[in-house]
Amino acid sequence: MKLLLTSGGVTNAGIHAALERMLGKPVAESRALCIPTAQWGHPSCGPGGVRGLIAAEPDFRFLTGLGWASLGVLELTALPTIGAERWVPWVQEADVLLVDGGDATYLSHWMRESGLAGLLPSLPDTVWVGVSAGSMVMTPRIGSWFVEWPAAPDDRTLGIVDFAIFPHLDAFPSNTLAHAERWAAGIGCPAYAIDEQTAIAVVDGAVEVVSEGRWVRFGR
């Protein structure tokens, strides 16, 4: 799987170009499935945000509102009840999975429970576009700073990449560089703090930062 890990989505021309390179064709010719599941695990999210994502409302113009050839919904909490024979072909036929934010530990839990996490290695050409928690879920852990799901056993996530992500740099009073530095000091792996104009592209293990904004890399 090819990963485009963002804080705020496909917010500028550079990130858009990186996305189309990964897809190998224009967005307008690509089939997308959006995954709203992480929103259910965060107390600040709810039905309005899920509706906006699915309806590609203006607040989601950088994700579901990019002008996809087709756009469907993949709700991970439903998948265990309908059988893999139904939903696996939906994923295999998609060019891109658009994974919204919320709580990354909740998303990680349902990716495992649904079977989607186990399917990912068989999808080398599919592009994963994450926003916030949709990106953080691919990392080894997110730090207690970002855990909002009360039932989360800890801050561990899928560990598909070997670095952590601090999103929304400078977007909120609690997401300053000083906050990111304190977070990174306890995360135990390489890490990036990224703003809304930055993405991390991962293709065949190669990592590239695509940015028209501000980002910082922290070592071990």
State residue 64's pLDDT score: 98
pLDDT in tens, the chain (220 residues): 999 999 999 999 999 999 999 999 999 999 999 999 999 999 998 898 899 999 999 999 999 999 999 999 999 999 999 999 999 999 999 999 999 999 999 999 999 999 999 999 999 999 999 999 999 999 999 999 999 999 999 999 999 999 999 999 999 999 999 999 999 999 999 999 999 999 999 999 999 999 999 999 998 6
For residue 200, give both structure tokens.
């991390």
Contact 134, 99 (CB under 8 A): yes
Say how far apart CA 209 and CA 137 lie, in whole Å: 18
Q: Which residues lie below 8 Å from residue 55, measured CB to CB, with a gap of 6+?
A: 64
For residue 55, give both structure tokens.
């309806």
- 41, amino acid identity: G
Q: What is the pTM of this model?
A: 0.97
Contact 117, 97 (CB under 8 A): no
Per residue, what are the HEC states of 11-39?
CCHHHHHHHHHHHCCCHHHCEEEEECHHH
State residue 219's pLDDT score: 86
Say how far apart CA 33 and CA 87 lie, in whole Å: 11
- Could you give the domains of the chain? 2-169+189-201 (3.40.50.880)
Minimal CA–CA distance to 165: which of 149, 178, 146?
146
State residue 111's pLDDT score: 98
Share of the chain above pLDDT 70, in %: 100
State residue 220's pLDDT score: 60
State residue 46's pLDDT score: 86
State residue 87's pLDDT score: 98
Distance from the Cα of residue 85 to its chain's centroid: 25
Name the maximum alpha-carbon separation found in the chain: 48
